[in-house]
Amino acid sequence: MKRRQASSIDEVEIIFLLVKEANFLSDQAVPTGTSVPSGSTAPSKLASC
């Protein structure tokens, strides 16, 4: 139980960091004003995992 909880927490943190990094990279690459790419990357990341 403890191992499962720890691993699940680690997975959530990793996914959160990946989404945060993806949003940061998309904000860097895409000009300000176009929020569609940053909004579409997060759900796809979560769905793929």
pLDDT value at residue 6: 59
pLDDT value at residue 9: 79
pLDDT value at residue 43: 53
3-8 contacts: CB < 8 A, separation 24 or more? none
Mean pLDDT (10-residue bins), the chain, 49 residues = 67 89 76 52 53
pLDDT value at residue 45: 54
pLDDT value at residue 8: 76
